[in-house]
């Protein structure tokens, strides 16, 4: 399947700092990428839809000023968690949608964020 | 009604048996259906996709789709301990809707 690279795999930061997570589609162009959050033993929660060259679409209840999404190219989307707090500690996963023929969704490896 | 519903499990099967997972969806216009496998602490991995009514087989996995009844299922034949994971059903693609997942445990 298509390859989606997500970096970093894990990050520990102090409360109040900002953390940037990168998501890259390595072998295809992704006009649309998605960002999810997953708490332990819970299902994936869609946070936002990232469209190349335009503003992201956020799901209800997700603060756009706290979770900044930038999709500047067809292969890269970034999520910045600003002024992180311990309650932001979670597993963040990006995904990218292929655009050739029957579309499919492939996931990055995820980023485990721990805010102290 | 949730867009996609799955039995949360856990579903426990002995090694070598068939594991059967079911998923129902609410949007009758849904066209694309996917099964993802997620190991603990890892991100989901696409294992099957199906677009047309009927069965689709890939190795030990078989996906079954019935659009009239609005359900899609996944069969895992000859279950192995390495199949122990959470299986996520997903529907559509413009805004992919996931089920909560079914946890499968294969007993050696």
Residues of A in contact with B45 (CB under 8 A): 107
The torsion angles phi and psi of B83, rounded to 5 degrees, stand at: -80, -5
Spell out the residues 6+ positions from residue B23 whose beta carbon is closer than 8 angstroms to its own. B4, B5, B6, B71, B72, B73, B74, B89, B91, B99
* Tens-place pLDDT, residues B50-72: 999 999 999 999 999 999 999 99
Task: Measure in Å the smallest separation between the Cα of A70 and chain B Cα atoms.
Answer: 19
pLDDT in tens, A27-52: 888 888 999 999 988 888 999 999 88
Collect all residues of chain B within an 8 Å Cβ-Cβ radius of residue A102. 32, 49, 51
pLDDT tops 90 at residue A113: yes
Q: Could you count the other beta carbons within 10 Å of the beta carbon of residue B30?
A: 18
Give the C-alpha separation, A109 to A7, whole Å: 8
Nearest CB to A109; choose among B36, B43, B99 = B43
pLDDT for residue B1: 67
How far are the Cα atoms of A54, B21, B51, B71 from residue B5, in angstroms, in the given order?
A: 32, 11, 18, 9
């Amino acid at each position: 399947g298509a390859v989606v690279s997500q970096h970093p795999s894990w990050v520990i930061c102090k409360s109040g700092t900002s953390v940037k997570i990168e998501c890259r589609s390595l072998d295809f162009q992704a006009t649309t990428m998605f960002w999810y959050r997953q708490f332990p033993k819970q299902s994936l929660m869609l946070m936002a839809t990232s469209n190349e060259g335009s503003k992201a679409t956020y799901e209800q209840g997700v603060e756009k000023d706290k979770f900044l999404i930038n999709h500047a190219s067809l292969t890269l989307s970034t999520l910045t968690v600003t002024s992180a707090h311990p309650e932001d500690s979670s597993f963040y996963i990006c995904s990218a949608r292929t655009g050739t023929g029957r579309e499919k969704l492939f996931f990055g490896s995820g980023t485990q964020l721990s805010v102290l | 009604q949730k867009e996609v519903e799955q039995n949360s499990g856990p579903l426990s099967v002995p090694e070598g048996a068939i594991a059967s997972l079911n998923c129902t969806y609410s949007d009758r216009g849904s066209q694309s259906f996917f099964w993802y496998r997620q190991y603990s602490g890892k991100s989901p991995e696409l294992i099957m996709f199906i677009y047309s009514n009927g069965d689709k087989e890939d190795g030990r996995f078989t996906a079954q789709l019935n659009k009239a009844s609005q359900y899609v299922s996944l069969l895992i034949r000859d279950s192995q301990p390495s199949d122990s994971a959470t299986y996520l059903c997903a529907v559509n693609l413009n805004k992919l809707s996931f089920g909560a997942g079914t946890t499968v445990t294969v007993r050696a």
